[in-house]
C-alpha cells in the first residue's frame, strides 16, 4: 500500500503556489473565450440556416471527439504553420518557432470547453417552453 509523503507535499507547496497566478489567468481567458464561442456556436446551431447549423454541429462534434491533449499539441505545433501562410498579411511578420505557450493553451482549452458549453447553451434554449417565447408582458 502506498502512503502519502506529506513532507514532500509541504516542501513542494511554494512551487505550486508560484504557478497559481498563471493557472488562474489561463482559466480566466480560456473560459471567457469558451463562453463566447459557445454562445456563437449555440446561436448558429439554433438558427434556421441549414448549412450553418450542420457545419457547426460537425465542427462541434469533431472537437468533442478529439482528446484535449491532442488539441493542445495541434494548437502548439500545427496552427503556427497554418498561420504562417498569412505571413506578411497587413505587415505582420510571423515566426512559428517562437509562439507563446500561453496563447496556444488558451486557444486549445477554449475550443475544447466551448464545444461542451455549446451543448449546454443549445439544450438550455430547447428547455424553454414554447409558451414562454410567445408570452407577452401584461399591459398596464
Mean pLDDT, each 10-residue run in order, the chain (140 residues): 85 93 96 97 94 96 96 88 72 69 92 96 89 65
pTM for the model: 0.79
CA distance 112 to 70: 11
Question: CB neighbours of 118 closer than 8 A, spacing ≥ 6?
Answer: 37, 38, 41, 42, 45, 56, 60
pLDDT given for residue 38 in this prediction: 97
pLDDT given for residue 43 in this prediction: 94
Amino acid at each position: 500500500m502506498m502512503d502519502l509523503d506529506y513532507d514532500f507535499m509541504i516542501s513542494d507547496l511554494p512551487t505550486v503556489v508560484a504557478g497559481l497566478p498563471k493557472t488562474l489567468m489561463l482559466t480566466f481567458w480560456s473560459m471567457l473565450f469558451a463562453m463566447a464561442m459557445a454562445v456563437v456556436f449555440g446561436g448558429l446551431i439554433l438558427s434556421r440556416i441549414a448549412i450553418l447549423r450542420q457545419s457547426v454541429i460537425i465542427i462541434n462534434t469533431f472537437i468533442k471527439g478529439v482528446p484535449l491533449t491532442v488539441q493542445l499539441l495541434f494548437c502548439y505545433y500545427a496552427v503556427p504553420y497554418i498561420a504562417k501562410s498569412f505571413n506578411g498579411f497587413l505587415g505582420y511578420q510571423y515566426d512559428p518557432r517562437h509562439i507563446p505557450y500561453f496563447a496556444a493553451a488558451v486557444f486549445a482549452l477554449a475550443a475544447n470547453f466551448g464545444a461542451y458549453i455549446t451543448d449546454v447553451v443549445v439544450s438550455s434554449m430547447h428547455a424553454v417552453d414554447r409558451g414562454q417565447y410567445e408570452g407577452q408582458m401584461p399591459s398596464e
